[in-house]
Amino acid sequence: MLQQLSDFNSWFNGIAWGLPLIALLVGGGLILMFFSRLLPFTGFTHALRLTLGKYHHPGDSNDPGQLTHFKALCNALAATVGLGNIGGVAIALSTGGPGAIFWMWLAAIIGMNTKFFECTLAVMYRGKDHTGQVQGGPMYVIDNALPHWLKPLAVFFAICGLVGTTAMYTANETTKFIHTSWLGMTKETTVLWMDMPIDKLLIGAMLAALVTYVLSGGIKRLARWTCSLVPIMCFFYTLAALSVIALNFDAVPEAFASIFIKAFSPDAVIGGAQGTIVMVLITGIKRAAFSNEAGIGTAPMAHSNAKTTEPISEGLVAMLGPLIDTLIVCTMTALVILVTLTPDDYVGRTGVVITSQAFSNTFGGWGTHGLGVAVLLFGFSTMIGMANYNLKCWDYLFRGRFGRGPFLLWFAFTLVLGAAASHKNVITLIDSAYALMAIPTMTSTLILAPKVTKALRAYKQKYFGKASPPPSI
């Protein structure tokens, strides 16, 4: 029975991530790029000023949102800058080769623009949950801005989101690293009726307990944790990765060359259908979507909590997410692997174990332990960020009927399950859920893009190239 479920999971994942979805994400993203007139390039400076608090708008302090621009971005990055950047890049290289990184870059540039549109809409069409708190995301956008006959898409997104935002992948990778690299366990004692290792179940239970504690304190406690963890983990990992790259700098030009060359001429060593350009492209797009979530609809749920009177401004801040996540952090991970390992070291292997070997090849045992700290920081921040998304989907579907307790039990259960399940089953399940979430997100975004474009023109006239007005009191 378990094998049949696993086979169905793999089959459905292949169907979900077919060319139609790639066309929706990439083709739709290019259409949005045309609408915005290359906003990722023309609006970058203004977006940076907003994020750093160097620019504000009159009345922002009185807006019903709950978080500043910076806190909203950290909240979103907590879910996106995570083990997808450490283990996800390794998966891209092991299944698609160096060329997959090129397509990740392309998807990230397009994704910056896509995130601008979807996060702007999330603020433009905010709603309220059952407690009266301001909330947003694709489900509220569909409810408040699209015709009645499209409303089922909102429920469809929330249902898929309950699976896609469970952080099962993060729990799996974190547990795998602790289990093998720190505890040194090679044998697993299993619960026969579940075929799951007891020791991994226990690790998952500890992770679930920590996440439940943070989540029980509400969005403000969550924001305090993410604003503390995200800058620390990014700095720590960046320093470690740049050290590896610097020590192997003579191999960097060849690594970059392989990324560009293999994007259009993949290695036969990748094997079978995965050696085709189309499959390398799909691998890159899939891992970019998993890493920065552009077009998936998760980040709008975090950015909709921003305290602002200008929806365009929060869209601009959100635009920086794929830049930080994919173009910077993922690129560093890819270079760390490419300059320290050969294809034989990573092809056919999975996840964070590959990245761990890359660091240990440079720093020995200290590299493994250093990466372990990054894994824990990235993993924990991703879990609490994804818990925030999962809660929003839960509240939208159930409207407070069951209280907070059942949700905490649900999310804790998924973390324990994700920790003990097989890596293949977890990654294909989450990938499939992301694919389904992208359908209502991109559909609503493309339909409503002209409204965002109109608002963007007005915003540019008011604020672009102008000094920040005095703060409101």
Is 264 in contact with 378 (CB distance < 8 Å)? Answer: no
Q: Is the pLDDT reported for residue 223 higher than 50?
A: yes
Q: Is the pLDDT reported for residue 448 higher than 90?
A: yes
pLDDT (0 to 100) of residue 91: 77
Alpha carbons 253 and 244: distance in angstroms, whole number: 14
Structure tokens, 405: 């307790």
Structure tokens, 12: 């459905």
Measured from the Cβ of residue 380, the count of other Cβ atoms closer than 10 Å reads: 22
Furthest-apart CA atoms within the chain: distance in Å = 66
Is 249 in contact with 362 (CB distance < 8 Å)? Answer: no
Is 341 in contact with 143 (CB distance < 8 Å)? Answer: no
pLDDT (0 to 100) of residue 473: 39
Is 377 in contact with 236 (CB distance < 8 Å)? Answer: yes
Q: Percent of the chain beyond pLDDT 70?
A: 76
Structure tokens, 212: 């439940």
Each residue of 59-114: pLDDT tens digit?
555 555 555 656 666 655 655 566 667 777 877 787 778 888 888 888 888 888 89
Q: Is the pLDDT reported for residue 51 higher than 90?
A: no
Is 377 in contact with 121 (CB distance < 8 Å)? Answer: no
SS3 string, the chain, reads CHHHHHHHHHHHHHHHCCHHHHHHHHHHHHHHHHHHCCHHHHCHHHHHHHHCCCCCCCCHHHCCCCECHHHHHHHHHHHHCCHHHHHHHHHHHHHHCCHHHHHHHHHHHHHHHHHHHHHHHHHHCCEECCCCCEECCHHHHHHHHCCHHHCHHHHHHHHHHHHHCCCHHHHHHHHHHHHHHHCCCCCCCEECCCCEEHHHHHHHHHHHHHHHHHHCCHHHHHHHHHHHHHHHHHHHHHHHHHHHHHHCHHHHHHHHHHHHHHHHCCCHHHCHHHHCHHHHHHHHHHHHHHHHCCCCCCHHHHHCCECCCCHHHHHHHHCHHHHHHHHHHHHHHHHHHHHHCCHHHHCCCCCHHHHHHHHHHHHCHHHHHHHHHHHHHHHHHHHHHHHHHHHHHHHHHHCCCCCCHHHHHHHHHHHHHHHHCCHHHHHHHHHHHHHHHHHHHHHHHHHHHHHHHHHHHHHHHHHCCCCCCCCCC
Q: Which CATH class is domain 13-463?
A: mainly alpha
CB-side neighbour CA atoms (13 Å) of 172: 24
Q: Is the pLDDT reported for residue 44 higher than 70?
A: yes
Give 268: exposed, middle or buried? Use CB within 10 Å, 0-12, 13-18, 19+.
Answer: exposed
Please give the mean pLDDT across all residues of the chain: 77
Find the distance separating the first CA and the last CA of the chain, reported in whole Å: 63
Is 185 in contact with 194 (CB distance < 8 Å)? Answer: no
pLDDT (0 to 100) of residue 440: 93
Q: Is the pLDDT reported for residue 154 higher than 90?
A: yes
Averaged pLDDT for residues 250-260: 90
Structure tokens, 141: 């956008």
Q: Is the pLDDT reported for residue 161 higher than 80?
A: yes
Each residue of 120-134: pLDDT tens digit?
999 899 888 777 777
Partners of 67 in the beta sheet? Answer: 306
Distances (CA, A) of 348 to 335, 424, 461: 18, 12, 52
Each residue of 300-317: pLDDT tens digit?
887 777 777 788 888 888
- If one compares 296 and 290, the residue with the highest pLDDT of the two is 296
Q: 264: pLDDT confidence band, cut at 50, 70 and 90?
A: confident
pLDDT (0 to 100) of residue 302: 79
Least confident interval from 173-182, 230-239, 460-469:
460-469
